[in-house]
Amino acid sequence: MQNKRRVSVSTLGCKVNAFESELLTQKLVQSEWAVDDDTEAADLYIINTCTVTKEADRQARQVVRRAVRRNPDALVVVTGCYAQISPQACASIPGVDLVVGNDRKLDIARLLPNAKPDSGEAGVIVGDLDEHVSLPDQLLTGFEGQTRAFVQVQQGCNQGCTFCIIHRARGPSRSLLPTMVKKQVERLVVKGYKEIVICGVDLGAYGEDLVLEGNRGYGLVDLLEEICSLKHDFRIRLSSIDPAHIDERLITLMGHQPKICPHLHLSLQSGNSLILKRMKRRYGSDQVLSKVSELRENIADLVLSADIMVGFPTESEAHFEDTLRMVRQLEIAYPHVFPYSERPSTPAARVPSHKQVPVPERKSRAKTLRRVGSEVRQKVLHSRLGSGSRILVEGGPCPIAGHQKGRAGNYIEVWVPAEEWQVGQWADVHYRAVQGDALIGEWA
């Protein structure tokens, strides 16, 4: 360690970023860098950014400036979605040496000599995502210090929702070959990871661009079936999925395949059909209600989480009430709520100011929706009392002395006695109480 250059990688945003950061770190280690948890002493800082909202941009700049202050002599590299969309804004931050777009993110180890060229200004390497994009080209060995592992299977998005900039930050949808995905999953479960999170920018679009032998169609359900065929004791969790991609095959597979967690995170956005249409989503509220009803009929113990936006341009109080009603009706226990944030050059940002929802009202609606989400979550937790399940012990700080955290397949957090189970192991527990946003479990 003393003879190696030290690198610290900071990750903001989604699970795809988390996977890419791990792979990028692995490549740096292969190039004779040492991963340094002591960020005060790093020789290289890499900040893998997000740009889904203005707040994400602000957080990215904050993390970059913090890295520069920690070691003014270190190399500072900014990459990810904010770097792809706003490279000059990243390059203009004092102390930044190199800006790399998503098109070359996984090549950073060999691009470091381009940092701070002779001009003294930050090097900028940001290209056209239609021509090139960084896709995993080697297998990831693991996720340091975690009991679950992320596996990226898809990159990019073809949709272009009116509020979203990510299709520009990530490029068109591209799928990894199923043979590589299956090898990646098997490598991780053999190493002992018992939960594999399958992730993508538009996960349900997996396979749409693939042409396999015989020109046969191949999609997400086909991939999941192959992964489930692996002869190991592990579970699969799906990351965010568009309701438009929930079809009969996926519902049937989730209902009959015990390896797939009874949990879905919906990219819902709104509960009002007019607002969904103005967002350029591919479904209305009736379709969502119908699909969730079918999911609950077929999948025992299902728990839902969802991304939900409030304050989209033209959203009235009545439209917002429809969203509150849907959260209650669908029992969305874990809503990820965020106020609408104008993104550069998106159609929604061009809506006249008098049709934009005032920022204070956006924040107020977000607060109300989070409160409703908390009420639904308590209802869901209390409905599980007296039952039980198999959980994965995750460890970590717990509010109850002598207990540690675990998580059920349906995503509910469970606190269990620390002395009875080891981190990373399965535990069969009985739910005896609710405390805060978790269930208290005991030996079943």
Asked if 107 and 114 count as a contact pair (C-beta separation under 8 A), the reply is no
Asked if 304 and 330 count as a contact pair (C-beta separation under 8 A), the reply is yes
Asked if 416 and 423 count as a contact pair (C-beta separation under 8 A), the reply is no
pLDDT at 214 over 90: no
pLDDT at 83 over 90: yes
Asked if 333 and 296 count as a contact pair (C-beta separation under 8 A), the reply is no
Average confidence (pLDDT) over 332-352: 96
Average confidence (pLDDT) over 388-399: 93
Domain residue ranges in the chain: 5-125, 148-383, 388-443
Asked if 374 and 418 count as a contact pair (C-beta separation under 8 A), the reply is no
Fill in the DSSP letter of residue 245: G
CATH number of the domain located at residue range(s) 388-443 in this protein: 2.40.50.140
CATH number of the domain located at residue range(s) 5-125 in this protein: 3.40.50.2300
Q: Which residues contact 422 (CB under 8 A, 6 or more apart)?
A: 393
The CA dihedral of 188, 194, 197, 198, to the nearest 10 degrees, is 60
Q: Which residues contact 83 (CB under 8 A, 6 or more apart)?
A: 49, 90, 99, 100, 101, 102, 126
In sequence order, what E strands does 107-202 have?
123-125, 148-155, 174-175, 195-200
pLDDT at 317 over 80: yes
Cα-based distances in Å from 42 to 7, 29, 64, 305, 338: 5, 14, 13, 37, 34
Average confidence (pLDDT) over 358-386: 98
Average confidence (pLDDT) over 146-164: 94
Average pLDDT, the chain: 93
Count of beta carbons in the 10 Å neighbourhood of residue 194: 18
Asked if 337 and 366 count as a contact pair (C-beta separation under 8 A), the reply is yes
Measured distance CA(268)–CA(315) in Å, rounded: 15
Q: Give residue 1's pLDDT band: very low, low, confident or very high (50, 70, 90).
A: very low
Q: Give residue 174's pLDDT band: very low, low, confident or very high (50, 70, 90).
A: very high
Among 120-134, 142-156, 278-292, 305-319, whose mean pLDDT is lowest? 120-134
Tokens representing 305 are 């989480």
pLDDT at 432 over 70: yes
Among 39-43, 180-184, 300-304, whose mean pLDDT is lowest? 39-43
Closest CA to 78 of 60, 57, 99: 99
Tokens representing 173 are 């949808």
Q: Which residue has the higher pLDDT, 366 or 109?
A: 366
Closest CA to 324 of 337, 313, 314: 337
Percent above pLDDT 90 for the chain: 84
Average confidence (pLDDT) over 210-217: 75
Among 38-47, 93-102, 215-224, whose mean pLDDT is lowest? 38-47
pLDDT at 216 over 80: no
Q: What is the pLDDT of residues 274-316, one digit of tens each?
A: 999 999 999 999 999 999 999 999 999 999 999 999 999 999 9
Percent above pLDDT 70 for the chain: 97
Query: Given this model, what pLDDT does residue 144 score?
Result: 76
Pinpoint the alpha helices (H) of 102-176: 108-111, 166-170
Topology (CATH) of 148-383: pyruvate-formate lyase- activating enzyme (3.80.30)
Please report, for the chain, how many H helices and E strands are present, in that order: 13, 18
**Strand ordering across the sheet containing 33-35:** 33-35, 5-11, 44-49, 75-80, 98-100, 123-125
Helix or strand or coil: residue 78? strand
Cα-based distances in Å from 45 to 80, 181, 225, 290: 14, 29, 39, 47
Asked if 199 and 317 count as a contact pair (C-beta separation under 8 A), the reply is no
Tokens representing 440 are 């208290």
Query: Given this model, what pLDDT does residue 355 score?
Result: 95
